Amino acid sequence: MVPFNEVSVVIPAFNEEESISPIIERIRAVSPEFEIVVCSDGSTDATAALARKAGAIVIEHRYNIGNGAAVKSGAMTASRPYLVFMDSDGQHPPEDIPKLLNEMPDYDMVIASRTRNCSTDPVRNVGNFMLRKVAEIIGGKPILDLTSGFRAVRRDLFFLFSPLYPLRYSYPSTITLALINTGHFVKFLPLDTIGRRERGTSNIRPFHDGLRFLKIIFRLLMLFRPFKIFFPISLALFVLGAGLGIYQWFATNGLHSMAVILLLSSLFCFVNGLLAEQISQIRLSMLNQPTSSGPLLPVSHSAAAPAGPPSRGSRAC
């Protein structure tokens, strides 16, 4: 097991004043040796003040940027070699953190995956299922949970792919596929204890979240396997063009413009897919090396924050 004094627990939070203090207290109960970093992402309530009072290192974004930005800011501030990410709404039980850390010596990232016994939201379950199936096509291996925000990862590996993480959603899916596609070891640890938020108000909007899931699916495909988008389109255009061309040839003894346009479009789409695939792989290979890129937007820190390396200063993504 990874020693607790080498672990930073990073918690993004937005208007979670009802749950942030109990979560921090439960983390402290598991081990007082954890470094706890809370990023208040433009909260308008007492989230930051309560987290600071509970003994956490607090970062405050001046306005709401997004979950991905809050996670990156918290990770940048964390000073220890292993990071545990969890939500602030109570759906991730801190008591399970040791289960994740117990697997970390053998894996680069351990993800707490939800099971059928978890009391999660049905709308999100449908979206998560679709994302998992797309991710399995991209990654070429079974993926139990792509969007779980409860995970442990080596700090250096987290920052290898930080330029790819979106400001809002979904950094978990991006880092999971990035590590899998670059040959790192990822373990999915099924936990029945993950549930719905315990306090506060959910921001789930079925229609909006459905569109967001579709956007994430296409984004992930374009990031890691763009040819899987271009090739089906190219094949469909070729079949249509060839079919129309054969019909025109026998019906009019020649090819007409529409068949030629479809066949040329198929060729262009195929070539563009090959180029996009090469660009994607080159980008991943360039990112698969240590990076010292720092955060972008100014934030304020709690006075209790410990001194860290210069690259983890008082600026946030």
Whichever domain contains 31, its CATH number is 3.90.550.10
Q: Is residue 316 part of a domain?
A: no
Distance CA 151, CA 86 (A): 7
Identify the pLDDT of residue 186: 92
- Quick check: 311 pLDDT over 60? no
pLDDT for residue 206: 54
Q: Determine, yes or no, domain membership for 314.
A: no
33 and 94 in a single domain? The answer is yes
174-178, 189-193, 261-265, 312-316: least confidently modelled range = 312-316
State how far the Cα of 212 lies from the Cα of 169, in Å rounded to an integer.
8
* Predicted confidence (pLDDT) at residue 4 exceeds the cutoff of 70: yes
Residues of the domain holding 34: 4-224+295-309
How much is the pLDDT for 207? 60
| pLDDT tens, residue by residue, 75-89 | 999 999 999 999 888
Please check whether residues 220 and 239 belong to one and the same domain.
no
**Range ranked top by mean pLDDT from 8-12, 133-137, 139-143:** 8-12
* Same domain for 269 and 251: yes
Same domain, 137 and 52: yes
Q: Are residues 76 and 48 in the same domain?
A: yes
pLDDT band at 268 (very low <50, low <70, confident <90, very high): very high
Higher pLDDT, 47 or 202: 47
- 59 lies in a domain? yes
Residues 127 and 217 reside in one and the same domain:
yes
Question: Are 159 and 233 in a shared domain?
Answer: no
User: For residue 196, what pLDDT is reported?
Assistant: 59
pLDDT digits (tens, 9 = 90+) for 90-135: 888 999 999 999 999 889 999 998 877 666 656 566 666 777 777 7
**Per the domain annotation, does 215 fall within a domain?**
yes
Give the HSE-up count for residue 270: Cα atoms under 13 Å, Cβ half-sphere. 11
Q: How far apart are CA 119 and CA 197, in angstroms?
A: 10
* 68 pLDDT above the threshold of 80: yes
Supply the DSSP string of the chain, one letter for each residue.
---GGGEEEEEEESS-TTTHHHHHHHHHHH-TT-EEEEEEES-SSSHHHHHHHTT-EEEEESS---HHHHHHHHHHH--SSEEEE--SSS-S-GGGHHHHHHHGGG-SEEEEEE-TTS---HHHHHHHHHHHHHHHHHHSS--S-SS---EEEEHHHHHHTGGG--SSTTHHHHHHHHHHHTT--EEEEEETT--S-SSS-----HHHHHHHHHHHHHHHHHHH-THHHHHHHHHHHHHHHHHHHHHHHHHHSS--HHHHHHHHHHHHHHHHHHHHHHHHHHHHHHHSS---PPP-EEEEE-TTPPP--GGG-SEE-
**Among 115-119, 142-146, 189-193, which stretch is predicted with the lowest mean pLDDT?**
115-119
Same domain, 125 and 149: yes
The pLDDT value recorded for residue 153 is 95
190 & 259 share domain: no
pLDDT for 312 equals: 39
**What percent of the chain is predicted at pLDDT more than 70?**
80
pLDDT over 80 at 195, yes or no: no
| pLDDT score for 152 | 95
The domain total for the chain is 2
State percent of the chain over pLDDT 90. 44
Same domain flag for 136 and 276: no
Q: Are both 255 and 170 inside the same structural domain? A: no
Residue 315: predicted pLDDT: 37
- How high is the mean pLDDT of the chain? 81
Spatial distance between the Cα atoms of 28 and 180, rounded to a whole number of angstroms: 32
